[in-house]
Structure 1
Amino acid sequence: MVLGYHSRKRGNPSAQSSYANKLQKLTLKEKAVKRTILGSVSSIAIHPSETRTLVAAGDCNGNIGLWDLKRRSADIYVFPVHSRRTRIVAFSPSDPQYLLSLGYEGTIRCGDISYSVFDEIYHAEGYLTSFDFLSVDGSVLLASHYDSKLSVVDRRTRNKTSNVHGCLDSKFVYSVSVHPLQRDLCVVAGSSDVLVYDVRQLRKDTTQPVMSLLRHTSGVASASFSPATGNCILTSSMEPCLQ
């Protein structure tokens, strides 16, 4: 896997070096390792609470496991949510009692972790690959389809289909990430492309990107804006590393 770093501003070299040194000093204790699900982990999310550490993990079989690291008991709660790989799990930014998940079978579900109930909020024809929160409160999602489409999903409506559907100028799409400040902008990763789109310009025919970033030589697995400012984009690719 190759990581790419795209930014208009260069970071502070000394700060990056100090951070790297701190990472090298981290240790992993045996009691901090736990099998949360039976299948291989395909996604993970950490609850934003400042008083507890709650981890959600999705696996290749469509299960979601919850692990509360602060509890003395070693109980792991596992929920069979999807029929295929759980691609994305994410806690709602406005109410983290709710856990949202996306499965490859083409559904997005919202689970109330207090009652262990996961309701379907969106169903698509074909594979879904990713989603991000389009609105600050998390009520509106932007979901990506493998066949190069984006859908806007409003959790507040009873309609389980998309309100906006746009076809992108890419062979296929693996991930989508919404700019944290300019929320009309999103970056998508696909074949060897990293493209920035304006959600307001989505069209059912081919939608042109507003910006195209440096191309990888192999498929791009993901591309994400930096969470605070959005000035940087981190990409990952399966192209071989150069020694």
Structure 2
Amino acid sequence: MAEIDGGINDYEAQRRANIERNNALLRDLELANLGAALGPTAISSSSGSKRRATGSPGVKPTVKRTTKTQRPKQAVEVLPRRTSARLAGIEPESEKARVKAETEYVALQEAEKEARKRVGGDIKFEDLSSDKIAQLWTFDDDEPDSTETKTSEIAGDIVQLRKEMSGLKLYEKFEPNDIKITPERVYTIGFHPSASKRLVFAGDKIGNLGVWDIDQVKSEDDEEFPQTYLFKVHARTLANFAFAPSITSKIYTASYDGSIRCVDFVSGISSEVYYGTLGREPDAVSELQFADANTLYFSTLDGEVGRLDLRTPKDITKYRLHDKKIGGLSLHPNAPYLAATASLDRSMKLWDFRKIESLESGELQPKFLSSYDSRLSISCTSWNNEGSIVCNGYDDTINIFNLKDSTNWDVNFNAPEELTPSSKIKHNCQTGRWVTILRSHWQRNPLDNVQKFVIGNMNRFMDVYTADGIQLARLGDSDLIRAVPAACQFHATKNWIVGGTASGKVCLFE
């Protein structure tokens, strides 16, 4: 290899030239980055409600409502920080450092365990004063609306039905981002059955029960905010709730902490009506349904269904229906001895509780009627008052079963061993880890006499379908609804729909 002046060969000269060229490029990049840092910057916000500086490319402006208010800042609890081993004079990797780390870890574990500990017995909501109860629980009607007196005739024109449902408007008083009903992810949501006072209830991932009094506001510093209430009733996920048929001032809640509680909004007391354990772990309750004013059915994550008589709450009967988790339980509204269950074992099954059988294991089981087997897990099942069942699951399919003659089934009726859907709808149900499982729910007693159900949409909408699988509406607002309203529900009689998101916020269409 030839040498040049100074004894440097061609290879070394080329290497030095490359180094100098790379250094020049780095100097140019540093100057460019410095200029960008001195220029206009994006405005950031933890809530995501603020926008970038005016003129930023690719940002779609948000249409803001004139009634939008800013949520008051909440007090943040300052927790003690971990102490520094260096400042404490502890040598790294020493025995003293190891003991300190283990002590801190145990303390954190105990604090988390204490936060998840179930509270038994009665809970008195001391912060809910009598005047607040009077304001919250004031109704013009003591009972839910009756379909016998308020049923209207419909023409059956699908175009008109779509026009009516698609015409539902997003609640205008406050934006969805300002209506925070629970501190954590909404797992279940629904309306109080009354139509005179509009109340929305939601259960979250850590056992809170949130209440939104829709038509009331609270004022702070001359600004208006949604009137909400929050009650800590469980130690783990509040999975489902139901109102007592005869006393609508009481709401019964089911939780993964293994308990069912009754919250009485007149007395302001939450009382425990059931607690079950499976070995050392709680017998997590996934859903509950009233068969009548005194009889409550509930499902567990162990594949059982329990029957509880509220007059004798210690007299509980359990039935083995599945080998795996039951995620959905529904009783026929007009024949409550008929039940449908949806399970992680990829099946939906129908049962008749008028006839109870004993298994070889000694466990009890109602008469098996029929089943539908899916490719993947089935998340929920819902039975409407005309006899149709809707279920959906992880196979991205909504299935509707027309069983309108089910009220005529006698105790000896032999149903087909396998159910066949009358309608199938493709629907994305892949929610992932951080979004609540999508569940389809019928409107309980529609005043317009149209059987319809609602289910969340992963594109931040809520979809409404008829019992024939015809889509009536896709409700949403891409500018104002910023998360998936995964938990959603109709009002029992009115065409009002509410949805809850992973951030504990709600959107209402009315």
TM-score, normalization by structure 1 = 0.84
Aligned residue number for residue 27 of structure 2: none
> What is the one-letter code of the residue matched to 1:44?
I
Contact 1:129-1:175 within 8 A present in 2 as well: yes
- SS of the equivalent of 1:200 reads strand
Are 1:213 and 2:371 an aligned pair?
yes
Cα deviation per residue 1:72-110 (whole Å; 9 max; x = unaligned)? 333311001010000002221211100110001110000
Contact 1:195-1:209 within 8 A present in 2 as well: no
Contact 2:286-2:326 within 8 A present in 1 as well: yes
Contact 1:219-1:239 within 8 A present in 2 as well: yes
Q: 1:201, CA displacement in angstroms?
A: 3.2
Contact 1:86-1:103 within 8 A present in 2 as well: yes
Give the counterpart of 2:354 among 200, 207, 220: 200
Distance between the aligned counterparts of 2:311 and 2:215, measured in 1?
A: 33
Q: 1:169 to 1:48 in 2, by over 3 A?
A: closer
Correspondence 1:1-243 to 2 at 5 A = 15-32=157-174, 33=176, 34-73=179-218, 74-125=226-277, 126-135=283-292, 137=293, 139-159=294-314, 162=316, 164-190=317-343, 191-202=345-356, 203=358, 204-205=362-363, 207=365, 210-226=368-384, 228-229=385-386, 231-240=387-396
Contact 2:304-2:322 within 8 A present in 1 as well: no
Distance between the aligned counterparts of 2:323 and 2:157, measured in 1?
A: 37
Q: 1:158 to 1:129 in 2, by over 3 A?
A: closer
Contact 1:170-1:193 within 8 A present in 2 as well: no
- SS of the equivalent of 2:163 reads helix
Contact 2:257-2:284 within 8 A present in 1 as well: yes
Contact 1:84-1:104 within 8 A present in 2 as well: yes
Distance between the aligned counterparts of 2:199 and 2:245, measured in 1?
A: 15
- SS of the equivalent of 2:336 reads coil
Q: 1:171, CA displacement in angstroms?
A: 3.1
> What is the one-letter code of the residue matched to 1:128?
V
> What is the one-letter code of the residue matched to 1:75?
Q
Contact 1:140-1:154 within 8 A present in 2 as well: yes
- SS of the equivalent of 2:173 reads helix
Q: 1:91 to 1:169 in 2, by over 3 A?
A: closer
Q: 1:215, CA displacement in angstroms?
A: 2.0
Q: 1:208, CA displacement in angstroms?
A: 6.4
Q: Which runs of 5+ in 1 are unaligned?
A: 1-11
Distance between the aligned counterparts of 1:209 and 1:223, measured in 2?
A: 19
Aligned residue number for residue 17 of structure 2: none
Cα deviation per residue 1:106-161 (whole Å; 9 max; x = unaligned)? 100001112321100011112111111122x2x210111111111111112252x6
Contact 1:54-1:68 within 8 A present in 2 as well: yes
Q: 1:236, CA displacement in angstroms?
A: 1.7
Q: 1:109 to 1:15 in 2, by over 3 A?
A: farther
- Equivalenced residue count is 226
Query: Which structure would you say has the larger RCO, counting Cα contacts within 8 Å and 6 or more residues apart?
Result: 1
Cα deviation per residue 1:155-205 (whole Å; 9 max; x = unaligned)? 12252x61x211114433112111112221111011211111112334453
> What is the one-letter code of the residue matched to 2:368?
V
> What is the one-letter code of the residue matched to 1:194?
M
- SS of the equivalent of 1:70 reads strand
Distance between the aligned counterparts of 1:189 and 1:232, measured in 2?
A: 15
Contact 2:299-2:306 within 8 A present in 1 as well: yes
Distance between the aligned counterparts of 2:243 and 2:341, measured in 1?
A: 21
Distance between the aligned counterparts of 1:134 and 1:118, measured in 2?
A: 22
What is the identity percentage for the equivalent residue pairs of Structure 1 and Structure 2? 24
Distance between the aligned counterparts of 1:154 and 1:65, measured in 2?
A: 27
- SS of the equivalent of 2:390 reads strand
Q: 1:235 to 1:17 in 2, by over 3 A?
A: farther
Q: 1:27, CA displacement in angstroms?
A: 2.5
Q: 1:232 to 1:134 in 2, by over 3 A?
A: same
> What is the one-letter code of the residue matched to 1:81?
V
Distance between the aligned counterparts of 1:217 and 1:18, measured in 2?
A: 36
RMSD: 2.3
Contact 1:99-1:112 within 8 A present in 2 as well: yes
Q: 1:25, CA displacement in angstroms?
A: 2.5
Q: Which runs of 5+ in 2 are unaligned?
A: 1-153, 219-225, 278-282, 398-425, 428-510
Distance between the aligned counterparts of 2:166 and 2:313, measured in 1?
A: 49
- SS of the equivalent of 2:181 reads coil
Which protein has the bigger helix share?
Answer: 2
Distance between the aligned counterparts of 2:330 and 2:354, measured in 1?
A: 15
Which protein has the bigger strand share?
Answer: 1
TM-score, normalization by structure 2 = 0.42
